[in-house]
């Protein structure tokens, strides 16, 4: 009895302390205020901030400080966030970020994330959280329709394109019935411009030994269907096992769209799983131009779209769509006694049943909220704007003295390189890259095409408009002028 009393007293003492984590006290209110003020300032001033802030590698020392036993004042926290966490390096949310695949920062998505964290619903299991599960299911159905899939399609919202591509590879592997002994003879078809995550997905799916055939590309870096067909026939004749064909709808390097129609027919002819990586290009299907460019995507068995790319969401949301959801069900089959009670009628598939994740962030809210708030029309117009901006910029660069441009943008990416009158072009382009990084007003990433160093211009940020495009042209001209002098 006495022992009980002591325990209760101790628990009460601990409760007084632990409640501090949840009390909506002055501290939380202050945090809320600081966060709101920070976000407002960020949204209003980001168009003036640098796209890249050079940093000193010794900054790691600041992060080495151990966490303290006592808490920290929220003002101090926010000044740390601004100075050391947010400012250094790439400002991915800048409208003057033309590097990699530019990111966006829709406010409605940020609120979606906030609400998801506040309410912390179990989004991956329908019988526990029907609302979140239905929301995800409806978003998947909307995207499946966009791609041209019919009833029976399914998929899930992932953390990004790499994981979604990996899940597709796993489903394709299981559909082909490949087991260990087959791997050294199994063949996957792709191009040298396929995203590296496909290669990694094969490795992670246990298929490191699988043969990869990099199909030659045409002058615009698109897979050559004739070469593909010949290669498959040759492989079959030699006793190999062709099983997977990966096309890209918008390559990261140059924005090229593989000829999906022709490739899809070849996949069907040879009974290969046809996967389309449309992580970057997928949502251009919302535009007339995109629908024409991506014609044939409906022939695929699976598609990856990244809402955190061409739907302007902040990082953290990809999507896998599979024409026949049963493939995902089969690959993710599991038994767990501790989950028996949550089984329910299959009104819909819970994402926990058709994807690798169990507990997951309630991603659907950050995607649904902006679509619901703004409506689809404005997304279509924003995507059309980015397509036109890329064309406008390609013309500007093509007309610039001593600049060589790659193929015109099929979507919103193109390449260019400086071909100076004097000096080694490789060295001069590297100098230009360094000068642009040090300046920081705009950000461009680089790549290689036909063995040559190239800049890439990727127009996709929701914050990129005519003004930002003109700044890009001016800054590149200015830096070339400075290097020349
Ligand atoms: C065509 C393509 N596929 C896949 C990916 C990987 O997606 P994530 O970075 O979301 O993992 C990217 C990323 O840029 C991409 O451009």
Q: Ligand 1: which atom is nearest the Cα of residue 308?
A: 10
- How far is ligand 1, taken at its centre, from the CA of residue 66, in Å? 34
For residue 307, pLDDT beyond 80? yes
Whether residue 278 sits in one domain with residue 135: yes
The parent domain of residue 420 ranges over 377-484
Mean residue pLDDT of the chain comes to 95
Q: Ligand 1: which atom is nearest the Cα of residue 281?
A: 1
Whether residue 401 sits in one domain with residue 292: no
**Residue having the nearest C-alpha atom to atom 9 of ligand 1:** 161
Q: Do residues 471 and 441 make contact, with C-beta atoms less than 8 angstroms apart?
A: yes
Give residue 229's pLDDT band: very low, low, confident or very high (50, 70, 90): very high
Instruction: Report pLDDT for 346.
Output: 66
Whether residue 316 sits in one domain with residue 271: yes
In a domain, 33, yes or no: no
Give residue 345's pLDDT band: very low, low, confident or very high (50, 70, 90): low
Instruction: Report pLDDT for 41.
Output: 94
**Residue having the nearest C-alpha atom to atom 7 of ligand 1:** 161
Whether residue 240 sits in one domain with residue 185: yes
In a domain, 34, yes or no: no
Share of the chain above pLDDT 70, in %: 99
In a domain, 13, yes or no: no
Instruction: Report pLDDT for 456.
Output: 98
Whether residue 283 sits in one domain with residue 388: no
Instruction: Report pLDDT for 303.
Output: 98
For residue 341, pLDDT beyond 80? no
Q: Do residues 193 and 214 make contact, with C-beta atoms less than 8 angstroms apart?
A: no
Q: Which of 279, 307, 315, 413 for mutating ligand 1's site (highest number of atoms within 8 Å of CB)?
A: 279
For residue 253, pLDDT beyond 80? yes
Tokens of 211: 């043969």
Mean pLDDT of 207-217: 98
In a domain, 43, yes or no: no
Whether residue 414 sits in one domain with residue 345: no
Query: What pLDDT digit, counting tens, does each position of 408-435 carry?
Result: 999 999 999 999 999 999 999 999 999 9
- 476 Cβ partners below 8 Å, 6+ apart? 397, 400, 432, 436, 442
Query: What pLDDT digit, counting tens, does each position of 143-202 carry?
Result: 999 999 999 999 999 999 999 999 999 999 999 999 999 999 999 999 999 999 999 999
- How far is ligand 1, taken at its centre, from the CA of residue 133, in Å? 25
Whether residue 397 sits in one domain with residue 337: no
Q: How many domains does the chain have?
A: 2
pLDDT: which is higher, 346 or 443? 443
In a domain, 29, yes or no: no
Whether residue 392 sits in one domain with residue 284: no
Whether residue 384 sits in one domain with residue 351: no
Boundary residue ending a domain (374, 389, 414): 374
**Residue 354, domain CATH:** 3.40.640.10
In a domain, 88, yes or no: no
- Please report how the helices 376-398 and 363-374 are oriented relative to each other, as an axis angle in degrees rounded to 10: 90
User: Which run of H or E residues covers position 331?
Assistant: helix 326-331
For residue 273, pLDDT beyond 90? yes
Which string of DSSP letters, residue by residue, matches 413-481? EEEEEE--SSS-HHHHHHHHHHHHHHH-SSB-EEEEETTEEEEEEE---TT--HHHHHHHHHHHHHHHH
Boundary residue ending a domain (374, 391, 412): 374
Whether residue 426 sits in one domain with residue 291: no
Boundary residue ending a domain (374, 407, 422): 374
Whether residue 235 sits in one domain with residue 365: yes
**Residue 460, domain CATH:** 3.90.1150.170
In a domain, 21, yes or no: no
Residues having CB closer than 6 A to ligand 1 are: 101, 160-162, 165, 195, 197, 248, 252, 277, 279-280, 306, 318
Q: Which of 160, 260, 284 for mutating ligand 1's site (highest number of atoms within 8 Å of CB)?
A: 160
Whether residue 235 sits in one domain with residue 358: yes
Instruction: Report pLDDT for 342.
Output: 60
- 64 Cβ partners below 8 Å, 6+ apart? none
- Residue closest to 216 by CA, chosen among 204, 201, 231: 231
Q: Which of 99, 101, 248, 251 for mutating ligand 1's site (highest number of atoms within 8 Å of CB)?
A: 101
For residue 294, pLDDT beyond 60? yes
Instruction: Report pLDDT for 26.
Output: 77
Which residues make beta-bridge pairs with 305? 278, 319
Mean pLDDT of 233-248: 98
Q: Ligand 1: which atom is nearest the Cα of residue 160?
A: 10
Instruction: Report pLDDT for 231.
Output: 98
Mean pLDDT of 42-60: 93
Mean pLDDT of 50-56: 95
In a domain, 101, yes or no: no
Q: Ligand 1: which atom is nearest the Cα of residue 306?
A: 10
- How far is ligand 1, taken at its centre, from the CA of residue 387, in Å? 19
Give residue 343's pLDDT band: very low, low, confident or very high (50, 70, 90): low
User: Which run of H or E residues covers position 160?
Assistant: none
């Amino acid at each position: 009895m006495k022992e009980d009393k002591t325990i209760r007293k101790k628990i009460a003492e601990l409760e007084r302390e632990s409640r501090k984590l949840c009390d909506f006290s002055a501290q939380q209110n202050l945090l809320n205020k600081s966060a709101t003020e920070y976000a407002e300032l960020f949204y209003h001033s980001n168009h003036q901030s640098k796209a890249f802030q050079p940093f000193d590698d010794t900054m790691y020392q600041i992060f080495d400080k151990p966490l303290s036993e006592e808490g920290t004042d929220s003002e101090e926290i926010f000044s740390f966030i601004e100075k050391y966490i947010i400012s250094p390096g790439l400002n991915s949310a800048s409208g003057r970020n033309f590097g990699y695949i530019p990111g966006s920062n829709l406010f409605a998505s940020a609120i979606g994330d906030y609400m998801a964290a506040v309410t912390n619903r179990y989004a991956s299991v329908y019988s526990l959280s029907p609302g979140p599960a239905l929301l995800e299911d409806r978003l998947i159905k909307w995207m499946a329709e966009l791609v041209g899939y019919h009833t029976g399609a399914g998929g899930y919202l992932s953390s990004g394109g790499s994981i979604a591509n990996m899940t597709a590879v796993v489903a394709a592997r299981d559909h082909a019935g490949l087991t260990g002994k087959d791997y050294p003879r199994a063949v996957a078809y792709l191009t040298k411009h396929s995203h590296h995550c496909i290669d990694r997905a094969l490795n992670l799916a246990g298929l490191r030994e699988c043969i990869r055939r990099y199909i030659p590309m045409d002058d615009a870096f698109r897979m050559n269907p004739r070469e593909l067909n010949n290669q498959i026939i040759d492989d079959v004749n030699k006793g190999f096992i062709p099983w997977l064909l990966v096309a890209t709808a918008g390559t990261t390097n140059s924005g090229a769209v593989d000829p999906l129609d022709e490739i899809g027919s070849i996949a069907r002819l040879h009974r290969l799983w046809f996967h389309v990586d449309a992580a970057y290009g997928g949502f251009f299907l919302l535009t007339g131009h995109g629908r024409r460019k991506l014609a044939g995507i409906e022939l695929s068995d699976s598609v990856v779209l990244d809402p955190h790319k061409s739907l302007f969401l902040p990082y953290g949301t990809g999507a896998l769509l599979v024409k026949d959801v049963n493939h995902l069900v089969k690959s993710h089959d599991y038994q767990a006694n501790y989950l028996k009670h949550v089984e329910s009628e299959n009104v819909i598939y819970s994402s926990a049943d058709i994807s690798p994740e169990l507990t997951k962030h309630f991603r659907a809210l950050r995607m649904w909220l902006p679509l619901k708030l703004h409506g689809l029309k404005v997304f279509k117009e924003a995507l059309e704007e980015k397509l036109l901006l890329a064309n406008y910029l390609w013309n500007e660069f093509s007309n610039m003295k001593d600049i060589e441009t790659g193929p015109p943008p099929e979507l919103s990416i193109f390449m260019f390189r400086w071909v100076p009158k004097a000096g080694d072009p490789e060295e001069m382009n590297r100098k230009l890259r360094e000068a642009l990084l040090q300046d920081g007003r705009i950000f461009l990433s680089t790549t290689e095409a036909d063995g040559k160093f190239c800049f890439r211009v990727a127009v996709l940020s929701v914050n990129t408009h005519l003004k930002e495009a003109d700044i890009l042209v001016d800054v590149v001209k200015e830096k070339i002028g400075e290097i020349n002098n």
